[in-house]
Amino acid sequence: MPLRRSVLGVSLGVCLLACLAGCGAEGDGIRAEGPAPSRIPWSGPVYVLDWKSLARQRPDVMDLTDETVLYGMKWRGWGSPRATGTGEVVDLACLSGCPHHAYPGYAVSVVFSGLAKRQYAAYYSRASVSPVRPPKPAWAEDAGDVRLHVPKP
Beta strands in 32-67 (DSSP E): 46-49, 55-56, 61-63
Residue 84 CB-density burial (10 A; 0-12 exposed, 13-18 middle, 19+ buried): middle
Contact 101, 95 (CB under 8 A): yes
Residue 86 confidence (pLDDT): 97
Do the Cβ atoms of 140 and 65 come closer than 8 Å? no
Q: Which residue range(s) make up the domain with 108?
A: 46-147
The answer to whether residue 99 is domain-embedded is yes
Task: Identify whether 40 is part of a domain.
Answer: no
Residue 76 lies in a domain: yes
Residue 121 lies in a domain: yes
CA distance 89 to 86: 10
pLDDT at 27: 57
24 within domain boundaries? no
Domains of the chain: total: 1
Q: Is residue 28 in some structural domain?
A: no
* Angle at alpha carbon of residue 139, lines to 85 and 94, rounded to 5°: 95
| pLDDT profile of the chain (153 residues), mean per 10 | 53 57 59 66 86 95 91 96 94 66 83 93 95 81 85 88
Residue 34 forms part of a structural domain: no
Q: What integer pLDDT is reported at residue 101 of this predicted model?
A: 64
* Domain contains 91: yes
Please report which helix (H) or strand (E) contains residue 12, including its range.
helix 2-21
Strands 83-91 and 105-113: antiparallel
